Amino acid sequence: MPLYEYRCEACGETEEKLESLSAPTEHACPQCGHAAGMRRQISQAAFTLSGSGWYAKDYAAGGTKGSSESAKDVAPPAASPATSAGCCGGCPHKHGA
């Protein structure tokens, strides 16, 4: 059951109640007695995401969508035989000639 916050529009009294989702959104104020004075307020949800899921990797840390690896963590590609011989494989330079 959710915890709801109520505030009286007549006197400003506040209270919290643990009620079902179908509970009425207003009721009489226990302080001033105003009928239907206590109205349900919109309040911040109280839950915490934990673990190593998308929230911790991509959202909370400010990472990019889809990957949590930074550029420095990615290994460079392995050198191909043409690259290790001094040629990039299609350049206009004449290597070794």
Domain boundaries, the chain: 3-40
CA distances from 20 to 1, 25, 49, 65, 94 (A): 5, 11, 23, 37, 80
Contact between residue 6 and residue 40 where contact means Cβ atoms under 8 Å apart: yes
Q: What is the mean pLDDT of residues 16-34?
A: 91
Q: Is the pTM of this model over 0.75?
A: no
* Cα(27)–Cα(24) distance, integer angstroms: 7
Q: Which helix (H) or strand (E) holds 26?
A: strand 26-27
The dihedral of CA 65, 68, 69, 70: what is its sign? positive
The pLDDT score that the predictor gives to residue 64 is: 54
